[in-house]
Amino acid sequence: MSRVGPLLNENAPSTAFPARQIPLLRRSSTWLPSAHARLETVLEAERAQLPLWVPIMLGAGIFAWFSLPAPPHWMAWIAFWLGVAAAFGALARGGRLSASLARGALLLAAGCLLIWVKALLVAQPPLARPAVVEMQARVLLATPLAARGLIRLEVQPVARPDLPARVRVNAAPEQFEERVAAGDLVAMRARLMPPAPAALPGAYDFARTAYFAGLGATGRALGPIARLSDGEPRSDARSSLAGHIAERLPGPEGTIAITLATGNQNWISEADADAMRRSGLAHLLSISGLHVSALIGGVIFIVVRLLALSPSFALRWPVLMIAACAGGAAGIAYTLFTGAEVPTIRSCIAALLVIGGLALGREAIGLRLIATGALVVMIFWPETIIGPSFQMSFAAVTAIVALYEYPPARALFERRDEGPVKRWFRVVGALLATGLVVELVLTPIAFAHFHRSGLLGAAANMIAIPLTSFVVMPAEVLALALDTVGLGAPAWWIVGLALKLLLWIAHFVAGQPFATLALPVTSGFAFALAMLGLLWLMLWRTAMRWWGMPVAMLGFILTFSAPAADVLVTADGHHVAVRLSDGSMALLRDRSGDYVRSTLAEATAYEGDFAALTQAPGARCSRDMCAIEVSSRDGAPIRLLISRSRLLVPYAELVAACAAADIVIADRRLPDGCVPRWAKLDRPTLTAMGGALILLKDRQIIGGRDPRDRHPWVAGRAAR
C-alpha cells in the first residue's frame, strides 16, 4: 500500500480558513455554553431563593386559567407547559437552569389544572334569570348590616330544585315577624337575581366571587318573613360579642371596635369606611397579620409570665414553647371566630410556622415562611389569588421582610448602643421607610382593583399602626376580660379615646387634596409587568435583583399613562357616561344610584359631579333616543345615538338615525337594519363584551371580557 502524503504542503497556512474568520467561528461556537455557564453560576449563588418562586409560578398558572377564555385554551396551556417541562427535564444534566425551568413549567401547568378542578368541584350553577319566588328556606347565616339598616340572610331553599342551593337575601328589620337565627326554617317571598357580573371593564366581578362561595342568587325580600320552626339551638358568638361591644361603646368608635374583635365590617358607616380607604388605613379593618400577631404575642407574653411565677415549673419545663403553643391555639381560635378570611388564614399559618421554626431552632421569620403560607392558601383556595385581599396581604408582608433582609437596610435599622434621640430617629426612619416601601408595592394592586391609591398612607400608618397594635387592641382585650366581673368601663374609655383619634387621623388625611391619586382602568399587562418587576426585586439577593427595576418601571409607566375613556357603557347598556368638551362627564340617566356613579367615576378617574346628558350642550334628546356630537383626535365630530327607553321606535326612522350616527348604544337588541358608521353596541353585544370603554380620539373600544368566555359563572349567561 502506497504512502499518502500531506494534503497541504509545508508552505500552506496551518488551517483551511483565513485568520480573520477564526474569532467569529470561535464566538459562535462558545457563546451559548458561556452564557449557560454564567446563568448556572448566578443560579448557584441564588439557590436559597429558588423555592420562593414556587408559589409565583403556581399562581401564574392560576391567573392563566382566569385570563384564558375557554376549555380548549386551558387544555392547550396545560399541554404546552407539560411539553416544555418534559423537554427541559430531558436536557437537565445536573445543572440548575434546566431543572429550574422544568419545575417552573410544571408549576405553570399545575396551577391552571388546580383552579380548573376547584371550579368543577364547586359546580353550583347560578340562577338562570331574575325571578320572584315564594319559598321555604333554612337559614344558614343571619348578619346585621347596621350601617345600611338591613339584615342579610343566607338561606338554603327547601324542596326547590329549580333554585340554587345557597341564596342571599336582604331584608329590613321590620319585615321579620320574629327574630331569626341560623338553623331556623322561614317562609318568604323574594325577588332573586343572578349574581351581578362586572358592570364595566376592570370593575368588581361579583358573579365570579359568588360562584366560588357557592352563592347562586341574591335578592331582596318582598313582604314579611315568617319563622316556621326553630333550628337546633346555636350560640352566635360573633353577633353576641358585636352587640355587647355596641352597648359598651356606642357611636362610630364602637363600629371599629366591633370590626377589630369580630372581623365584621358591616357595622361601619360608608363615610368612615371611605375615609379609612382614602387614608390608606383600610387594612386595619381586615383581620390580618397585625391583629393575629398582636393576639398571639399577647397570649405568649401572659402565659410566660404566669408560668414563670413557679420557679420549679420554669426550671423543669420549656416555658417558652408551652406559651408559644398556647398562643398558636389562640390564633387558630381567633381565625375561626372571625370568619377565616384569607388574610387571617395567611397570618395564622405564618404564626404557626414561626412557632414551628422556634421549636426547631431555625430562623423563624423570612421569605420562605411567606412563600409557604402563600402556597398553602393557593392549594386550598386558589380562587383567592385574583382578589385584592390575597395580593395586598402577601405583597405587603413580602415587602417588609425583603426590606429588612436587604443588608444595607438591616445595617441601618438594627438596634445598637446609642442615645435616645438617635434611637428614636432610627425607629421613626424605619417606620417611614417601611411605609413607603409597602405603599410602592401595593400601588399597582390598588390601581388594578380600585383605580386609586393613597399618597399619604405611609405617614398615616406611622401613627395608626402603633396606636392600633399597642393601645387599641390590648385595651379592648382587657376591657372584654374585665367585663366578666363588671369592671371594664375604664378600659372601654381608653379604647373609645384611641379609636376616636384613629378616625380623626383617617378623616383628616382623607380630606387632603392629594390624599389619593385616581387613574383610569389600566391593562392587565401593565399590572403583570409592575408586579413581576417588584417581585424580582424583592426575591433575589444578588445583583440579578436589579434586572427587575426596568421591568417594574415600564409597568408603572404604562399604568400612569393609561388613557381615560370618553364614553362608558355598562354591560346591560342601561347606563352611559359621556365626556363633554369641557372635561366634565354627563350621565344618560341622571337618577342613577351612588353605586353606578362611583363605578363609572372610578373607571375613568373622574372626581367631579355628573351632569345630565339631556341638558348637555349640543345634545338633542327625545323620550326614546338621545343624540350628541363629541370631538375626536382629528377634530371631526363623532355622533352618538343612545336609546333612553324600550318603547318601539318606527323602523324607518330608527334605520335612518342609525345610518347618520357613528356609534349606536342601546339597552335592548337592535334590528339588523340598524347599521351605524362605526359600531353598534346593543344589549347582546354589550353583555358578551362585559361593558365597553370607548376612546374616541384613538377610535378604540375596550371590552370587559372575551366574548368567547366560557368560565362556569359566565356560561349560563352566554347560553341565554
Cell numbers 363615610 correspond to 271
**In the predicted model, is pLDDT for residue 55 greater than 90?**
yes
Residue 498 CA, distance from chain mean position: 29
Query: Does position 3 have pLDDT exceeding 60, yes or no?
Result: no
pLDDT(67) > 70: yes
Q: Which of 669, 674, 641 is nearest to 656 (CA)?
A: 674
Q: What is the mean pLDDT of the chain?
A: 82
Let me know how many helices (H) and strands (E) the chain has, helices first: 25, 19
Question: Rounded to whole angstroms, how far apart are CA atoms 108 and 79?
Answer: 10
Residue 318 confidence (pLDDT): 80
DSSP one-letter code for 279: T
Residue type at 244 in one-letter notation: H
Specify whether the CB–CB gap between 259 and 273 falls below 8 A.
no
Find the mean pLDDT for residues 521-546.
Answer: 90
Per-residue pLDDT band for 160 (boundaries 50, 70, 90) equals: confident
Query: What are the C-alpha distances in Å from 353 to residues 22, 290, 325, 361, 412?
Result: 58, 16, 11, 12, 28
Q: Please, is 554 exposed, middle or buried when counting C-beta atoms within 10 Å of its C-beta (0-12, 13-18, 19+)?
A: middle
Place 345 in a pLDDT band, splitting at 50, 70 and 90.
Answer: confident
Distance (Å, rounded) from C-alpha 275 to C-alpha 536?
Answer: 33
Nearest to 198 by CA among 475, 600, 514, 565: 600
Which has the minimum average pLDDT: 141-145, 231-235, 374-378, 626-630? Answer: 231-235
DSSP 670: P
pLDDT tops 60 at residue 226 = yes
Collect contacts of 616-620 with beta carbons under 8 A, ≥24 apart. Answer: 616/578, 616/580, 616/586, 617/580, 617/581, 619/586
* Mean pLDDT of the 520-536 span: 90
- pLDDT at residue 559 is higher than 50: yes
Q: Give the three-class secondary structure for 445.
A: helix
Beta bridge partners of 131: 192
Cα–Cα distance between 569 and 600 in angstroms, integer?
Answer: 9
3-state secondary structure of 406: coil
User: What is the residue-wise DSSP string for 583-641?
Assistant: S-EEESSTT--HHHHHHHHHHHT--SPPEEGGGSTT-EE-SSEEEEEEE-TTS-EEEEE
Q: Say if residue 87 is exposed, middle or buried (CB neighbours under 10 Å; 0-12, 13-18, 19+).
A: middle
Q: What pLDDT is attached to residue 574? A: 87
CA angle 499, 595, 632 (to 5 degrees): 125
User: What are the tens digits of pLDDT across the range 449-462?
Assistant: 888 887 777 778 77
pTM of the entire predicted model: 0.82
d(CA 297, CA 351): 10
> Grid coordinates representing 614?
339631556
What is the identity of the amino acid at 464? Answer: A
More confident residue, 690 or 414: 690
Closest CA to 640 of 702, 572, 566: 566
